Amino acid sequence: MALTLNLVGAGHVGRVLGRLFAAHGVFALQDVVTRSQASAAAAIAFIEAGHACVDMAALRPAQVWLLAVNDDQIAQACAALAAVHDLQGAVVFHCSGARASGELEAARARGARVASVHPIRSFADPEAVARDFGGTWCGVEGDPEALALLAPGFEAIGARTVAIDAGAKTVYHAAAVFASNYLVTVLDAALRAYVAAGVPEAVARELVRPLASETMANVLRLGAPAALSGPVARGDHATVARQAAALSAWDVPTGELYRALVPLTADVARRKHAS
């Protein structure tokens, strides 16, 4: 018999994991509670399993609890759960990349084992993620007993797990911001600079495409130092200074971004030449 699972909160992440756990027989999805019974019912329709509950107290006892709420609501939701349920021997976990398992201290105080399992991918399209979840990496940390149960469960739905330092959770999450959000910002700066030089935007995207895609491929294949090229890597300080000045004359924030990246890029260059 699969262990019972209750779902507190059912946004995109909760719905996807609920569907995958139920479809693969990892956990038996039992009850779902969200901000409204209507949203809980919608989650159950997506998951194709479970029972909608009106509030936390209406949830039946379960062996595993997933708190799939917003990051800033995890501790509050956990405290509310611990106030109305006996959690002795249960596993309680969340999927936040920014918050550590320590947010679940209220459940631990009630006898639960707690953990965080963070799938490292975008959940903007739940249907697509549920379909293509296989191979997804998940950063895990928490109580060993909780991870001993959860890691095999996630592996059963196709995930790969990597242990992370709970004390460095914010830095860990910032890594994803660099790899995704700030990458967009840097590429936007490149596109705007091309347009400022008279290149039509559509053509600018085509100019950026091989540079960005080949650089990305090289970083992932060879590592950042080996992939680095350009004036900083060559030690061409005069070109770097001219570019910084020209960018600041055109757009001050973009010039500041360029200057901020020079020291970090120079460090990568040092590692490149030291290898």
Domain with residue 219: its CATH number is 1.10.1040
Establish if 171 belongs to a structural domain: no
3-state DSSP helix/strand/coil percent for the chain, to nearest 5? Answer: 60, 15, 25
From the list 182, 233, 237, 187, the residue with the least C-alpha distance to 210 is: 187
Are 50 and 117 contained in the same domain? yes
Domain with residue 36: its CATH number is 3.40.50.720
Tell me the per-residue pLDDT of 24-58, one tens digit each, with 9 for 90 and over: 999 999 999 998 989 999 999 999 999 999 999 99
Predicted pLDDT at 204: 98
The set of residues, in sequence order, having a beta carbon less than 8 Å from that of 124 and lying 6+ positions away, is 12
Token pair listed for 26 = 């990892």
Tell me the per-residue pLDDT of 189-224, one tens digit each, with 9 for 90 and over: 999 999 999 999 999 999 999 999 999 999 999 999
- Can you state the angle between helices 252-274 and 237-250, rounded to 10 degrees? 160
Spatial separation of the C-alpha atoms in residues 83 and 78, rounded to whole Å: 9
Are 140 and 221 contained in the same domain? no
Indicate the number of domains in the chain: 2
**Helical H runs in 105-200?**
105-109, 126-131, 144-156, 169-179, 181-196
Judged against a pLDDT cut of 80, whether residue 1 lies above it is answered with no
Token pair 């596993």 in the structure block, residue: 91
Establish if 57 belongs to a structural domain: yes
Tally Cβ neighbours within 10 Å of residue 69.
23
From the list 92, 93, 224, 116, the residue with the least C-alpha distance to 168 is: 116
Tell me the per-residue pLDDT of 216-273, one tens digit each, with 9 for 90 and over: 999 999 999 999 999 999 999 999 999 999 999 999 999 999 999 999 999 999 999 9
Token pair listed for 79 = 């405290």
Are 63 and 189 contained in the same domain? no
Among 119, 144, 166, the domain-final residue is: 166
Q: Any idea of the CA torsion for 189, 193, 199, 203, to the nearest 10 degrees?
A: -20
Are 188 and 139 contained in the same domain? no
Q: Write the single-letter amino acid at 157.
A: I
Q: How far is CA 265 from the centre of its chain?
A: 25
Kindly give the pairing relationship between strand 160-163 and strand 137-142: parallel
Kindly report the average pLDDT of the chain as a whole number. 97
Establish if 172 belongs to a structural domain: no
Spatial separation of the C-alpha atoms in residues 19 and 46, rounded to whole Å: 7
Q: What is the DSSP letter of 161?
A: E
Domain that holds residue 197: 180-274
